Amino acid sequence: MSEGRLLSDASIGAITDLARSTPDVERVLADAGITLEVLPPVRDQGAVIVPNVRQRLARTLKALDLTDRSTVNSVLAAATKLAEIYENAPNAKPGRLARLRDCLAADGYHVDKAGDPMAAIRSLADTAGRVLTDASAIRAELTRLERNFDADPSQDIGAAKRLIESTAKIVLARTGGSVRRNPSMRDLIPDAMSGVDAWSATKHPDIRAMMDNLRDAALKVNALRNKAGDGHGGVTAVTGVDDRDSRLAVRVAIAWCAYVLDCLGDLPAHSSAD
């Protein structure tokens, strides 16, 4: 891999091999904020050769700044969607998908691997779209998180807190709860969980205890944001928080949001059909 680059040529080649049609590639790249390059036809011994979509995709990806974390996150998001499209094609070759996984793994990335925060981010976006009539606020937070994920721990921690806050407010609005002008996260989080009956008396005692832990974990994300997240000017630099810790905060936020949205979807009066 070239010095400073976060994606190797092997990974770029593996992503390119999954390109099937120009419309699909254009749509997937557009969703990631990338424009597919247009290459001029080439004349060879009197013949006119029009570059195919794989050649255009390869040129597009190689022209990006692959030393930039947010750019690479956008490429990874596009790669995941291209892999999904390719996998569902009738003549898909499993070897190409295996090569993509191996090449990305060598670069330190994973495509929809269990526990991968990027995969969980996309899964939460799907859940929000399924449950909510208007999931734009949550999708906006997830898009910001996905594009800048792992670039700066303080940004990730701040994004995790905002995701919890946005989801809690939406759940309360859907369940008839009230949200004060400057609500405290200490109220928002348990109120939203109560709104979806997370502590139902019909639940197993261990599940109700787990709900206490989930509430406390979400509150800890907010506490961490107040000390180590973005949005606050500190007198001294925060120490003792690294990339692994910020990824944990993101995982906690996604787990909390996914659970309350799943519960919301099971409430007939507040389904996506409302």
Domain boundaries, the chain: 9-107, 117-270
Contact present, 257 and 131 (Cβ < 8 Å)? no
Q: How far apart are CA 229 and CA 233, in angstroms?
A: 10
Residue 230's pLDDT is what? 72
How confident is the model over 135-164, as a mean pLDDT?
86
- Candidate from 100-104, 198-202, 236-240 with smallest mean pLDDT: 236-240
pLDDT at 27 over 90: yes
pLDDT at 56 over 90: yes
Lowest mean pLDDT among 118-122, 216-220, 236-240, 252-256: 236-240
Instruction: Give the list of residues 6+ apart from residue 235 with CB closer than 8 angstroms, or none.
Output: none
Check if the beta carbon of residue 34 is closer than 8 Å to that of residue 95.
no
Query: What pLDDT, on the 0 to 100 scale, is given for residue 232?
Result: 53
What whole-number percentage of the chain has pLDDT above 70?
90
Residue with tokens 């191996």: 102
- pLDDT class for 249, splitting at 50, 70, 90? very high
Residue range 208-217: mean pLDDT, rounded: 96
pLDDT at residue 113 above 80?
no
| Mean pLDDT of the residues in the chain | 86
Beta-bridge partner residues of 47: 44
d(CA 272, CA 266): 10
pLDDT of residue 12: 96
Q: Dihedral sign for Cα 106, 123, 163, 258, please.
A: negative
61: which 2 tokens? 């990806």
User: Quick one: residue 89, left, alpha or beta (phi over 0 = left, psi -120 to 50 = alpha)?
Assistant: beta
pLDDT value, residue 231: 60
pLDDT band, residue 238 (cuts 50/70/90): low
Euclidean distance between CA atoms 207 and 70, whole angstroms = 37
Question: How high is the pLDDT of residue 124?
Answer: 85
Does residue 247 carry a pLDDT above 90?
no
Distance CA 193, CA 243 (A): 28
The 3-state DSSP class for residue 49 equals strand
